[in-house]
């Protein structure tokens, strides 16, 4: 007899399973997908959407449409608690959904531990990616004023990409020299190799994007970015890009989690205490080895999740996930250039951007076709 498979979040690790819904349904299983939006946005192209390089339709998957077309059920909502004893997920609106097998791909969020108070300026976190569209509209409203100051709080790749692409948006909107400042924590791109670091700094400096470092931000108060040192910088628009943490759903549900709060999973991407629960992407803590929070791992987990979910429904053998070796990173700097990094090979310029653009569009085409 068919069973109930529930997918929470239509993220990057669920792409293959979503594409295979027709197969699951054909074997008699009921598939339900829960998500807070009918669309899932591809983060790799998010900064480019902010700049206006891409339009929203080009960087999103029509999850609802795809699920329904392939014979599944899409529930618009947010899961707030998982009850493994009862085999149910509870939604924000008070309803619940029963499962035999559950897979969680709820991603990550920017931590909300930075105090923001007083006189209001627009403050946007870099995730969820769809909010970057709203940020784009708000930034365009500021574009008439040469004096507008944009602050980006964070020192990692997303801070760099957001700053570079904000520059592009405002420059294309007519600002001669957008005033953008990155508050980089201890050091901008501190984990990157020296060559990547230098190329990014040069690109930002050429465009007068200021990097304040060290700059540990303590709070945002009355439209000012206040550092631990006491220095305060006025800002008219603020992006928060100070790292990401897994969804709080698992800790809130009392499920086993890793040190970062991600759902603890074994080599089969399966919760060791509750073998009917699986997960992938930024929201898990992979017990065999901690994984960087990059989309690459979510994408690599796809075939294993798809296989293991079917195996769990039908009593088949599970397959182990191997994270694989080094991965490619390409940073979109917003001026039609990028920095390419794979092992010892590091270069920048237009070719690096064209490679990223090609890889990203190919990924979109591959999974957009199912809707």
Ligand X SMILES: Cc1cc2nc3c(=O)[nH]c(=O)nc-3n(C[C@H](O)[C@H](O)[C@H](O)COP(=O)(O)OP(=O)(O)OC[C@H]3O[C@@H](n4cnc5c(N)ncnc54)[C@H](O)[C@@H]3O)c2cc1C
Binding site for ligand X (CB under 6 A): 8-13, 34-37, 40, 43-44, 46-47, 78-79, 105-108, 126-127, 158, 161, 247, 249, 281-283, 293-296, 298
Q: How far is the CB of 238 from ligand X (least distance, A)?
A: 15
By beta-carbon proximity to ligand X, the closer residue of 37 and 368 is 37
Q: How far is the CB of 223 from ligand X (least distance, A)?
A: 24
- Spatial separation of the C-alpha atoms in residues 283 and 301, rounded to whole Å: 12
Between the alpha carbon of residue 57 and those of residues 71, 147, 236, 366, the distances in Å are 23, 32, 29, 15
Q: How far is the CB of 318 from ligand X (least distance, A)?
A: 20
Which residues partner with 32 through β-bridges? 6, 73
By beta-carbon proximity to ligand X, the closer residue of 37 and 314 is 37
Q: How far is the CB of 7 from ligand X (least distance, A)?
A: 9
Q: How far is the CB of 231 from ligand X (least distance, A)?
A: 26
By beta-carbon proximity to ligand X, the closer residue of 10 and 334 is 10
Q: What are the backbone angles phi and psi of residue 224, rounded to the nearest 5°?
A: -125, 140
- Spatial separation of the C-alpha atoms in residues 288 and 273, rounded to whole Å: 15
Q: What are the backbone angles phi and psi of residue 266, rounded to the nearest 5°?
A: -90, -165
* CB atoms near residue 173 (< 10 Å): 15
By beta-carbon proximity to ligand X, the closer residue of 264 and 298 is 298
**Secondary structure of residue 196 in the 3-state scheme:** helix
Q: How far is the CB of 72 from ligand X (least distance, A)?
A: 15
By beta-carbon proximity to ligand X, the closer residue of 24 and 297 is 297
By beta-carbon proximity to ligand X, the closer residue of 126 and 313 is 126
């Amino acid at each position: 007899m068919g069973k109930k498979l529930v997918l929470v979040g239509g993220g990057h690790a669920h792409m293959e399973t979503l594409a295979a819904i027709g197969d699951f349904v054909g074997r008699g299983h009921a598939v339900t997908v829960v998500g807070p939006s009918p669309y899932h946005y591809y983060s790799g192209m998010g900064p480019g959407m902010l700049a206006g390089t891409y339009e929203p339709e080009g960087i999103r998957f029509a999850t609802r449409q795809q699920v329904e077309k392939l014979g599944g059920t899409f529930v618009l909502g947010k899961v707030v608690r998982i009850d493994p004893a009862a085999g149910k997920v509870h939604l924000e609106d008070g309803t619940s959904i029963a499962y035999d097998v559950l897979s969680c791909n709820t991603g990550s969020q920017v931590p909300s531990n930075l105090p923001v108070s007083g006189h209001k300026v627009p403050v946007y976190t870099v995730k969820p990616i769809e909010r970057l569209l709203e940020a784009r509209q708000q930034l365009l409203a500021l574009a008439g004023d040469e004096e507008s100051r944009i602050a980006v709080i964070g020192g990692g790749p997303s801070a760099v990409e957001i700053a570079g692409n904000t520059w592009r948006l405002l420059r294309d909107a007519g600002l001669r020299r957008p005033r953008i400042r990155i508050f980089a924590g201890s050091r901008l791109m501190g984990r990157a190799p020296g060559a990547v670091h230098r190329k990014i700094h040069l690109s930002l400096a050429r465009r007068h994007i200021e990097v304040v470092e060290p700059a540990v931000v303590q709070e945002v108060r009355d439209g000012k970015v206040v550092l631990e040192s006491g220095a305060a910088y006025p800002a008219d628009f603020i992006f928060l890009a100070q790292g990401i943490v897994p969804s709080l759903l698992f800790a809130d549900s009392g499920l086993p989690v890793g040190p970062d709060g991600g759902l603890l999973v074994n080599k089969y991407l399966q919760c060791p205490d509750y073998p009917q629960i699986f997960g992938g992407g930024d929201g898990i803590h992979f017990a065999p080895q901690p994984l960087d929070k990059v989309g690459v791992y979510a994408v690599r987990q796809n075939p294993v999740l798809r296989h293991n979910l079917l195996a769990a429904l039908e009593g088949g053998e599970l397959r182990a996930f191997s994270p694989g070796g080094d991965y490619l990173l390409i940073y979109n700097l917003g001026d039609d250039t990028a920095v390419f990094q794979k092992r010892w090979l590091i270069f920048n310029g237009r070719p690096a951007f064209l490679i990223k653009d090609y890889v990203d569009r190919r990924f979109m085409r591959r999974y957009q076709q199912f809707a």
